[in-house]
């Protein structure tokens, strides 16, 4: 894009057409001045079916062909974790802006390579961690930053469910970056980093499966002075999947499925309780898409919310936890 155009229609492409790509595409249809132009899958049948379902103009069975399409402004990458770096670099080399699903890549080295390429090409790149853009999470961030109820004393955040994925699924497959930590544990870790910052020390333990990935991971982030974040991810048990901030004057709870559109309950020290409903009308991916579109139209090359620095710290923290639990890919 050679000039800033406030209402320019953004032509999107999607690489990787699994479950999350379907949600993304559905919400993309709700956004003005945005268009699903092309999709790509290694399966031509899947690409054609997806394109027909979401009215995409082009369906490719080759990622390279999509990346070389001059009509595409931005690509959403929704392939398994281990392919994020490769797919991102392909698009950046073709001067296409990239919104890459979390985790950004497999480790800090890969993330550094992706960011360096984006800077070299002067092309927008952002990690797609949708929770950061959801109105309920933005509300909680503002409330905590303003110290409306005093400082955070403790954080508890979990994400767990009994997985019904087959043993051949990517979530259990080490070669595809499987395991609970990178797939869903990233959300509790993100919550701690985005509200408390970088921990001084980390303790962690995990159950490692016969396939060599973690089925559960429990983490304790220690902060000064004596503030702790207790975090958990699990593929083998249902957990509340809440984020609870214990502050000096109140408890702020992001209710179940805290990483998704949900409600927030505030319980003050005197027992007064209120629940705030944010009246979501979509799945929730539209908020990060709209943010990304605005950056692209303004010719920005980095998000002011999901910054490169934050993505680097997030992956470094995940790398640190993996080292503690002896999980190597």
Q: What would the mean pLDDT of 147-167 be, rounded to a whole number?
A: 93
Supply the CATH number for residue 216's domain.
Answer: 3.30.360.10
Decide if pLDDT at 22 tops 70: yes
Q: Say whether both 102 and 161 belong to one domain.
A: no
Q: 170-185, pLDDT tens digit by residue? A: 889 999 999 999 999 9
Last residue of a domain, one of 237, 252, 277: 277
Q: At 3, is the pLDDT very low, low, confident or very high (cuts 50, 70, 90)?
A: low
In a domain? residue 26: yes
Q: Say whether both 260 and 228 belong to one domain.
A: yes
In a domain? residue 269: yes
Q: Say whether both 153 and 172 belong to one domain.
A: yes
Decide if pLDDT at 2 tops 50: no
Token duo for residue 16:
């990787």
Which three-class secondary structure state does DSSP give residue 225?
Answer: coil
Q: How many Å apart are CA 222 and CA 114, to the nearest integer?
A: 30
Phi first, then psi, for residue 158 (nearest 5°) are -140, 160
Write 194-201 long-range contacts (CB < 8 A, 24+). 194/132, 194/141, 194/310, 195/140, 195/141, 195/144, 195/152, 195/155, 195/245, 196/152, 196/155, 196/221, 196/223, 196/227, 196/229, 197/223, 198/313, 198/317, 199/223, 199/229, 199/317, 200/224
Q: 183-231, pLDDT tens digit by residue? A: 999 999 999 999 999 999 999 999 999 999 999 999 999 999 999 999 9
The pLDDT value given to residue 233: 98
Q: How many CA within 13 A on the CB side of residue 62?
A: 4
Supply the CATH number for residue 127's domain.
Answer: 3.40.50.720
Distance of CA 195 to the CA centre of its chain: 16
Token duo for residue 182:
């990178």
Residue with tokens 């923290």: 317
Q: Say whether both 71 and 154 belong to one domain.
A: no
In a domain? residue 325: no
Classify 122 in phi/psi space as left (phi over 0), alpha (psi -120 to 50) or beta: left
Q: Say whether both 118 and 147 belong to one domain.
A: no
CA dihedral 118, 305, 128, 327 (to 10 degrees): 90
Contact, 102 vs 186, CB < 8 A? yes
Q: Say whether both 80 and 153 belong to one domain.
A: no
Decide if pLDDT at 18 tops 80: yes
The pLDDT value given to residue 1: 43
In a domain? residue 2: no
Count up the domains in the chain and report the number: 2
Last residue of a domain, one of 83, 105, 131: 131
Q: At 275, is the pLDDT very low, low, confident or very high (cuts 50, 70, 90)?
A: very high
In a domain? residue 319: no
CA end-to-end span of the chain: 38
Q: At 7, is the pLDDT very low, low, confident or very high (cuts 50, 70, 90)?
A: confident
What rounded mean pLDDT belongs to the chain? 96
Q: How many Å apart are CA 15 and CA 40, to the nearest integer?
A: 5
Q: Is the peptide bond before 225 cis (omega within 30 degrees of 0)?
A: yes
pTM for the complete prediction? Answer: 0.96
Q: Say whether both 164 and 96 belong to one domain.
A: no
In a domain? residue 240: yes
Q: 26-48, pLDDT tens digit by residue? A: 999 999 999 999 999 999 999 99
Last residue of a domain, one of 131, 157, 187: 131
Q: Say whether both 142 and 262 belong to one domain.
A: yes
Q: Say whether both 61 and 146 belong to one domain.
A: no
Contact, 78 vs 102, CB < 8 A? no
Q: 94-125, pLDDT tens digit by residue? A: 999 999 999 999 999 999 999 999 999 999 99
Contact, 140 vs 249, CB < 8 A? no
In a domain? residue 290: no
**What are the strands of the beta sheet with 74-77, ordered from one edge?**
58-60, 34-40, 10-15, 74-77, 97-101, 125-128
Q: Say whether both 75 and 127 belong to one domain.
A: yes
Q: Taking CA 44 as the corner, what is the angle to CA 42 and CA 46, rounded to the nearest 5 degrees?
A: 85
Q: Say whether both 70 and 141 belong to one domain.
A: no
In a domain? residue 214: yes
| Residue 287 burial (10 A CB sphere; 0-12, 13-18, 19+) | buried
Q: Say whether both 118 and 200 belong to one domain.
A: no
Domain carrying residue 72: 10-131
């Amino acid at each position: 894009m050679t000039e800033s155009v406030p209402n320019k229609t953004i032509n999107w492409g999607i690489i990787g057409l699994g479950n999350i790509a379907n949600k993304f595409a559905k919400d993309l249809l709700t956004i003005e001045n945005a268009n699903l132009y092309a999709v790509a899958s290694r399966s031509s049948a899947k690409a054609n079916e997806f394109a027909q379902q979401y009215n995409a103009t082009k369906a490719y069975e080759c990622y390279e062909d999509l990346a070389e399409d001059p009509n595409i402004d931005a690509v959403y990458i929704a392939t398994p974790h281990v392919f994020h770096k490769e797919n991102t670099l392909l698009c950046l080399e073709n001067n296409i802006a990239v919104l890459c699903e979390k985790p950004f890549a497999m480790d800090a080295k890969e993330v550094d390579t992706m960011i360096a390429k984006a800077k070299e090409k002067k092309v927008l790149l952002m990690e797609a961690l949708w929770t950061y853009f959801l109105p309920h999470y933005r509300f909680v961030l503002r409330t905590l930053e303003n110290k409306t109820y005093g400082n955070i004393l403790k954080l508890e955040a979990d994400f767990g469910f009994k997985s019904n994925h087959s043993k051949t699924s990517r979530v259990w497959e080490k070669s595809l970056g499987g395991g609970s930590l990178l797939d869903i544990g990233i959300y509790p870790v993100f919550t701690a980093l985005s509200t408390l910052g970088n921990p001084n020390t980390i303790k962690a333990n995990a159950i490692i499966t016969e396939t060599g990935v973690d089925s559960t991971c429990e983490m304790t982030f220690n902060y000064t002075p004596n503030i702790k974040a207790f975090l958990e991810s699990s593929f083998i048990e249902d957990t509340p999947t809440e984020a609870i901030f214990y502050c000096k004057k109140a408890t702020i709870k992001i209710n179940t499925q805290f990483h998704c559109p949900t409600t927030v309950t505030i319980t003050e020290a005197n027992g007064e309780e209120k629940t705030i409903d944010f009246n979501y009308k979509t799945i929730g991916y539209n908020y990060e898409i709209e943010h990304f579109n605005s950056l692209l139209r303004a010719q920005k090359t980095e998000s002011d919310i999901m910054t490169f620095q934050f993505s680097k710290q997030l992956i470094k923290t995940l790398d640190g936890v993996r080292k503690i639990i002896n999980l190597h890919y």
